[in-house]
Amino acid sequence: MSTPSQTAFQADDETRASLSVGGGNSSTFTPPLFKDCTETVHRMHSLLMHLLSNPDEFESAITYYKTKSTTNTLSDFQGEFEKSTDVGGSFGIEEEEIPIVFMVFAHDAEVVLPQAHTASQLFGYEREGGIELEAASGIVSLCQLFLRWLALLPGGDHTHIIEPPGLTVMKIAGGRYRVTAAHRVVWTWNNEFLADPAASPNQAELHFGDLVQMIVVDVFETDCDGRLLSYCPTFDNRAISKTGVSVERLRKGSSKIKSQIKHVANSQAAVRVNRAASMLGRMSFRAVVTVKDSVQKKIDEKRKETGNQSSSPTDGKSAKYFENKLDEANGGSELKSDNHISEAEENSIKKRQQLV
């Protein structure tokens, strides 16, 4: 009869054996593999910036939920939504467009945004006392919270992604991703506050109608399909600066050019062009080598025709040949006696004697 401790050890052995293969010598338990969705995460972030720049998309999502839902809870609605996406059920997926919010956020996504209802609160006394935050879960609740926050940034353009650093994507367990990014939001300042005597003299005062900008750090987490599970933007409501229309237009144009360059560089046409350019380079090099060989061949033939008799400086080995001959000539002159008088010197001596 086994004791309770022996029974516990046997249970542990059975558990280890269930996690091992081939006799239980080593554990071969491997976690499930998920496909890489890094590119999908980048696209989801771009869609998120589009949503933040177009608050009407959140209103469309709320309207879509109210008109299409025949259930009482959001989870039931999401179940019907996924079912209709697969089989084309009562939602009429094939005939109408689904709001982007349902594509970007999971049905149980959570967001944490400022709780402020007015700009005077968010950009007024909360600059000193700190920002009050509020969380929301579910598509309808997060859409309502987004609408309230974006109303404090009227006409805000969130599509100015700061690169570098761009997106930092960390893959975590379960096929999920944790992402950080940064973007600039540009909007028209619709407030007028009294001058703050404690403000720095270098800080520009903001007036009604000014075009202003603020940096927002995006922190979010996605599921294995790239849809957002949570989103928590982080920004400093004390760091708002003026900007200009011409400057923003120039930045917008440069960002479009960069995106087009990236798109072209990653396209199949760019691959073909690069391949053709490399082939052209190799062909050009081969052509140069062929021309060099043909010229060298003609030079060799010309030398054979002349019989290699030239000792002129134009011959291939003429420089060294000429130096050797010159050394021989100098050596020959050294063999002569030191008392030897040349004919020119002898004639010169005769002329001098006649003059005397």
In this structure, of 119-123, 268-272, 320-324, the range with the lowest mean pLDDT score is: 268-272
Rg value, the chain, Cα: 42
Supply the pLDDT for residue 177: 96
Average pLDDT over residues 320-349: 60
Q: Is the confidence at residue 180, as pLDDT, over 60?
A: yes
Average pLDDT over residues 276-296: 65
Supply the pLDDT for residue 24: 47
Supply the pLDDT for residue 164: 85
In this structure, of 72-86, 99-113, 231-245, 299-313, the range with the lowest mean pLDDT score is: 72-86
What class is the 38-195+204-266 domain?
Answer: alpha beta
Name the residue with higher pLDDT: 190 or 15: 190
Distance CA 24, CA 31 (A): 18
Going by C-alpha positions, the residue among 225, 194, 222 that lies closest to residue 37 is: 225
Please classify residue 65 by burial: count the beta carbons closer than 10 Å to its beta carbon, then call 0-12 exposed, 13-18 middle and 19+ buried. Answer: buried
Please classify residue 187 by burial: count the beta carbons closer than 10 Å to its beta carbon, then call 0-12 exposed, 13-18 middle and 19+ buried. Answer: buried
Supply the pLDDT for residue 132: 95
Q: Which amino acid is at 101?
A: V
Q: Is the confidence at residue 249, as pLDDT, over 60?
A: yes
Q: Is the confidence at residue 112, as pLDDT, over 50?
A: yes
Q: Is the confidence at residue 256, as pLDDT, over 60?
A: no
Please report which residue ranges of the chain form alpha helices under DSSP H.
4-18, 38-53, 56-68, 74-87, 100-104, 119-120, 126-129, 139-150, 245-265, 268-306, 318-335, 343-355
Identify the residue whose tokens are 């396209």: 267
Give per-residue pLDDT as tens, 208-241.
889 999 999 999 999 999 999 999 999 999 999 9
Q: What are phi and psi of 269, to 5 degrees?
A: -65, -40
Name the residue with higher pLDDT: 221 or 262: 221
Q: Is the confidence at residue 90, as pLDDT, over 70?
A: no
pTM over 0.85: no
Give per-residue pLDDT as tens, 123-152.
988 988 899 999 999 999 999 999 999 999
Average pLDDT over residues 256-264: 51
Supply the pLDDT for residue 21: 45
Cβ distance 153 to 187 under 8 Å? yes
The DSSP element (H or E) to which 228 belongs, if any, is strand 228-231
Peptide bond between residue 55 and the one before it cis (omega within 30 degrees of 0): no
In this structure, of 53-62, 74-83, 139-148, 221-230, the range with the lowest mean pLDDT score is: 74-83
Average pLDDT over residues 292-297: 74
Tokens of 193: 């506050």
Name the residue with higher pLDDT: 263 or 42: 42
Share of the chain above pLDDT 90, in %: 39
Supply the pLDDT for residue 297: 78
For the chain, what is the mean pLDDT? Answer: 75
